[in-house]
Amino acid sequence: MSASAQAKQKPSFSFLDFMYKYGTLLTIVVLIIIFGLFTDNFLTSSSLINILRQISIITIIATGLTVSLAVGGFDLSIGSTASLANAIVISLFVWHGQSLGVGIGLTILFCLLVGVLNAFLVINFKIQDMLMTLATMFIFQGIALTYTRGATVSQNMILPSGEYATGQIPALFGKLGKEPWLIVIMLVLVVLVHLFLNYTKHGRYMYMIGGNREAAELSGLPVSRYRLAAYLISALLATIGGIMIGARVMTAEVNSGAPMLMDAVAAAFIGYSVLGAGKPNALGTLAGSVLIGILSYGLIMMSVPYYAMDIVKGAVLALALAITYYKRKH
Amino acid sequence: MKQPTRDGLEMRGISIAFPGVQALREVDFAAARGRTHALIGANGAGKSTLMKVLAGAYDHYEGEIRIDGKPARIRKPRDAKDLGIQIVYQEVDTALISYLSVGENIMLDQMVSGMGGRQVIRWRQLHQSAQTVLDRLRVAIPTRKLVSELTLAEKQMVLIARAVAVDCRYLILDEPTAPLSSSETARLFELVRQLKEEGVGIIFISHRLPELYEICEDITVMRDGRKVASAALAEMDQAAVVQHMLGQRMEQQFPERVSQPGDIAMEVERFGDDGMLQDISLYLRRGEVVGLAGLVGAGKTELCRALFGASSGITGELRLQGRAVRLRTPHQAVSQGLALIPEERRREGIFVHEPVGANLTSAALSRYSRALGWLSPARERQASTAMIGSLGIKTPSERTLVRNLSGGNQQKVAIGKWLLADSEVYLFDEPTKGVDVGAKKDIFELIADLAARGKSVLYASSELSEIIGITDRVYVMYDGRIVRELVTADTDEEELMVYCTGGGQA
């Protein structure tokens, strides 16, 4: 919506404007061309599925982060929340023999408390969101570790009592972690959040709070309520991400969600500029995620050693951010 | 009064222009060492600009500055400091580094430019020198305390200490007393007297006329960028000062209106906050425009915010349409039919990164949404284009980002959003600040129209001519209190100014 507004204002062509709006999409296209030329089977439907499967969980988590960014917050605890959700959902099946519905329901309920705690601390103590959620990130990570006693939770694992765990992970749960469901769930969530942020008054309010909290307050918006809602949505999506991790690997590994955090942050920030939105947005986050996914996958296909991959990834991220923020300042 | 001595500081024929405004025209000003010179004028008269010229903040002025008869070249802050001219700006926080200690802040100039080739700070020496300065001024603030822990008054003392830590022959104090309590003010005056005895020439800018008579010997009054009077203070009483401040004002165009006040819409009694507001009682009737007159810092903004539920520690009673209510947040205030058009509109009133349309509907978005908060863009567009038309907002379309509009049009957006919200009580805080003449006229007409439709308007402004032009009744604020209630038809700008500057209190 605002993209078209900007386009109307400035008929003159500016290279920077163009790069700002289309830089991310252009980079994706360029990457596809490069990898398509230099590897044998990059341009196949199986690679596409592979990439989408790889980015699906990161995208879900990053979409939650996007909502917290929209209100001017920053939820750093999403990775830990995902780890925690993963541990809880698998343990409910394996240790307590719960059914699919109860397992997922209880996990979501418990992890929403995470969002409540984050919002409570951030809103009441007026501490910068990023600092406060940095602290809670450690707390939730610690809770997940303590809960699993630092061990991997899996079917037929040996319990501290010396016996084997008897609970089974429902087969249907495993299906959720495979394509097409994994990818479908991701796309549905991205679209839902996109509609919420752009087509409901609640989303509009969130952007207003993020854009100018003082003015939002003086416009009579219930600012604290919306910030709470944003942290709840962020925690909910991180929890869904964590459950999907469980569904995909059928175990709960130690800190399984933590590595997702940085990729999610990168995806959300790259997404700022997509199509000239100039603010955190769900579709942009998806694009950012796709960019990172293609990059990782292509580099593997090109046999770049895994230890050198982060160099390339970081460089591309720096470039994408440079385009976004250069424009913002000028 | 002053013989053409060759001693002292003299500014002759100072003129300076900024894009669109001629801020100073041929201003003459003289100050002597060992005396306190009051520099007075209404808001926007050019006092601060003149003093900034003296402090070297501008390099494009015309005119001549002489010190002790010799021409002085002041084009940058360094030049002024080398000549012993120091300025303490009103915003103390911008001049101090809050992460550093009192000692480091006092010795800042020496740390920046007096270190020579030395790389290591000698802490003991630094704190000793700072202590010496504080002792000289008889100020008891520990030099190792962090500036962030100081009160506003203490910060001001630290700034003054920094100014006199180096060779200081002239000290400019820009409205130093505005944020201070009376005991803190007394303490500051002691300091001023002390410096005067040491032979420092002090230039004192203030809006509070009575206090001038305590410490000043000379006075210069400015108006609209010109010097209008200069004399020994003993020869000019408060009424004369006010007359010089106001002069013959340009006639502004105010809409003709016949007011028919109805029932009381809003009323507060013994109202206050945990800041400066004390014992405020006022009421607004339907269809009435009530002025809230007062100079900058009198507490108008604080009162508007407190009435709107945007302050903490609110005490007293508030009644809307006769019902007692408590407004703890602006959210509650809005749902009770209040609207606030804040003074700092870029920071508080509008969303600059959002389009005009989204801004206009921001306070009443529920009306443009269906079930589950689903927005209806068509209805939204219709309402905002209609509002753009009726307010005459100059914008290419309702999808233009607000940051691309001019100040006057941004203000119209800030007002327009409350018109769409259809509130009952409108609180305007300095609505014409930074707005051009044409847009001002539109705003006045809008306010008159609101009153004609039976809404209540509180119009807070330091522009007394506007208060006289647009209101039915006026409350005058001074130092966080309401000091007078007047019927506009029975008063004039001069009387208002007397009360605004703390005069006439029997």
Q: What is the pLDDT of residue B251?
A: 57
Is the pLDDT at A1 greater than 60? The verdict is no
Tokens 């507060």 locate to: B268
Burial classification of residue A263, based on how many CB atoms lie within 10 Å of its CB (0-12 exposed, 13-18 middle, 19 or more buried): buried
More reliable by pLDDT, A14 or B127: B127
Q: What is the pLDDT of residue B2?
A: 44
Q: What number of other Cβ atoms are within 10 A of residue A134's Cβ?
A: 13
Q: Is residue A7 part of a domain?
A: no
Q: pLDDT band at residue A206, thresholds of 50, 70 and 90?
A: very high
Q: pLDDT band at residue A6, thresholds of 50, 70 and 90?
A: very low
Output the CA–CA distances (angstroms, integers) from residue B274 to A293, B279, B302, B333, B460, in the order listed: 54, 12, 11, 19, 21
Q: Is residue A3 part of a domain?
A: no
Pick B374's closest partner by Cβ from A200, A214, A221: A200
Interface test with B, best of A217, A218, A224, A328 (most B CBs within 10 A): A218
Q: Angle A306-329/A282-301 helices, nearest 10 degrees? A: 150
Q: Is residue A8 part of a domain?
A: no
Instruction: Label residue A148 left, alpha or beta by phi (over 0 means left) and psi (-120 to 50 means alpha).
Output: alpha
Name, in order, each residue with C-beta under 8 angstroms of B19's C-beta and a sequence gap of 6 or more: none
Q: What number of other Cβ atoms are within 10 A of residue B312's Cβ?
A: 9
Positive or negative CA dihedral for B147, B153, B154, B157?
Answer: positive
> B401, A215: Cβ pair inside 8 Å?
no
> A219, B354: Cβ pair inside 8 Å?
no
> B329, A1: Cβ pair inside 8 Å?
no
> B369, A215: Cβ pair inside 8 Å?
no
Positive or negative CA dihedral for B62, B67, B73, B78?
Answer: negative
Tokens 């994408």 locate to: A320
> B362, A219: Cβ pair inside 8 Å?
yes
Q: Is residue A11 part of a domain?
A: no
Nearest CA in chain A to B344: A215
Q: Which two tokens stand for residue B58?
A: 């501008």
Pick A201's closest partner by Cβ from B330, B369, B417: B369
Q: What is the pLDDT of residue B249?
A: 55
Q: pLDDT band at residue A10, thresholds of 50, 70 and 90?
A: very low
Positive or negative CA dihedral for B158, B162, B168, B170?
Answer: negative
Domains annotated for chain B, with CATH where assigned, are: 9-246 (3.40.50.300), 264-337+425-430+456-500 (3.40.50.300)
Distance from CA of A275 to the nearest CA of B (A): 16
Tokens 């425009």 locate to: B289
Q: What is the pLDDT of residue A5?
A: 41
Nearest CA in chain B to A210: B351
> A220, B401: Cβ pair inside 8 Å?
no
Distance from CA of A4 to the nearest CA of B (A): 9
Mean pLDDT of A277-298: 90
- The values of phi and psi at residue B474, to 5°, are -135, 135
CA angle B400, B406, B407 (to 5 degrees): 125
Pick A5's closest partner by Cβ from B352, B365, B401: B401
Q: Is residue A286 part of a domain?
A: yes
Q: Is residue A133 part of a domain?
A: yes
Amino acid at site A68: S
Q: Is residue A9 part of a domain?
A: no
Q: Is the Cβ of B424 closer than 8 Å to some Cβ of chain A?
A: no
Mean pLDDT of A9-27: 72
Pick B399's closest partner by Cβ from A5, A200, A202: A5
Q: What is the pLDDT of residue B293?
A: 93
Q: Which two tokens stand for residue A101?
A: 């519905």
- Which chain B residues are closer than 8 Å to A200 by Cβ? 369, 372-375
Pick B355's closest partner by Cβ from A2, A216, A219: A2
> A8, B369: Cβ pair inside 8 Å?
no
Q: Is the Cβ of B259 closer than 8 Å to some Cβ of chain A?
A: no
Question: Does residue A296 sit in helix, strand or coil?
Answer: helix
How many domains is chain A partitioned into structurally?
1
Mean pLDDT of A257-278: 86
Give the CATH number for residue A88: 1.10.3470
The DSSP output letter for B367 is G
Pick A204's closest partner by Cβ from B310, B330, B375: B375
- The values of phi and psi at residue B12, to 5°, are -130, 125
Name, in order, each residue with C-beta under 8 angstroms of B238's C-beta and a sequence gap of 6 or more: B209, B210, B498, B501, B503
Q: Which residues of B50-88 are buried (b: 16+ CB within 10 A; e: fewer)?
A: bbbbbbbbbeebebebebeeeebebeeeebbbebbbbbb
Positive or negative CA dihedral for A286, A288, A291, A295?
Answer: negative
Q: pLDDT band at residue A329, thresholds of 50, 70 and 90?
A: low
Distance from CA of B311 to the nearest CA of A (A): 11
Nearest CA in chain B to A4: B399
Chain segment A100-129, per-residue pLDDT in tens: 889 899 999 988 998 899 999 999 888 889
**What is the average pLDDT score of chain A?**
87
Distance from CA of A37 to the nearest CA of B (A): 41
Nearest CA in chain A to B376: A199
Q: Is the Cβ of B333 closer than 8 Å to some Cβ of chain A?
A: yes
Strands B289-293 and B315-320: unpaired
Pick A200's closest partner by Cβ from B352, B373, B421: B373
- The values of phi and psi at residue A237, to 5°, are -70, -35
What count of residues does chain B have?
506
Q: What is the pLDDT of residue A319?
A: 81
Mean pLDDT of A36-53: 86
Pick A202's closest partner by Cβ from B350, B363, B373: B373
Mean pLDDT of A73-81: 93
Q: Is residue A2 part of a domain?
A: no
Q: Is the Cβ of A204 closer than 8 Å to some Cβ of chain B?
A: yes
How many CA atoms lie less than 13 Å away from A58 in the CB half-sphere?
25
Distance from CA of A5 to the nearest CA of B (A): 5
pLDDT along chain B (506 residues), means of 10: 62 86 88 92 82 90 89 89 87 84 89 76 88 87 90 87 88 83 83 90 87 91 89 87 75 75 91 88 94 88 93 90 90 93 86 90 87 87 90 86 83 89 92 76 89 93 88 92 92 88 72
Q: What is the pLDDT of residue B252?
A: 62
Which residues lie across from B284 on neighbouring strands?
B266
Q: Is the Cβ of B370 closer than 8 Å to some Cβ of chain A?
A: no
What count of residues does chain A have?
330
- Which chain A residues are closer than 8 Å to B420 by Cβ? none
Contact B284, B337 (CB under 8 A): no
> A220, B363: Cβ pair inside 8 Å?
yes
Q: Is the Cβ of A199 closer than 8 Å to some Cβ of chain B?
A: yes
Name, in order, each residue with C-beta under 8 angstroms of B10's C-beta and a sequence gap of 6 or more: B28, B29, B30, B65, B66, B67
- Which chain A residues are closer than 8 Å to B421 by Cβ? 220
Nearest CA in chain B to A10: B400
Nearest CA in chain B to A208: B351
Is the pLDDT at A170 greater than 60? The verdict is yes
Residue span of the structural domain in which A59 resides: 17-329
Q: What is the pLDDT of residue B505?
A: 63
Q: What is the pLDDT of residue A2?
A: 41
Question: Does residue A320 sit in helix, strand or coil?
Answer: helix
Q: Is the Cβ of B365 closer than 8 Å to some Cβ of chain A?
A: yes
Quick one: which of A226, A243, A231 has its CA closest to A133? A231
Q: Is the Cβ of A226 closer than 8 Å to some Cβ of chain B?
A: no
Q: What is the pLDDT of residue A9?
A: 45
Q: Which two tokens stand for residue B227?
A: 């010097």
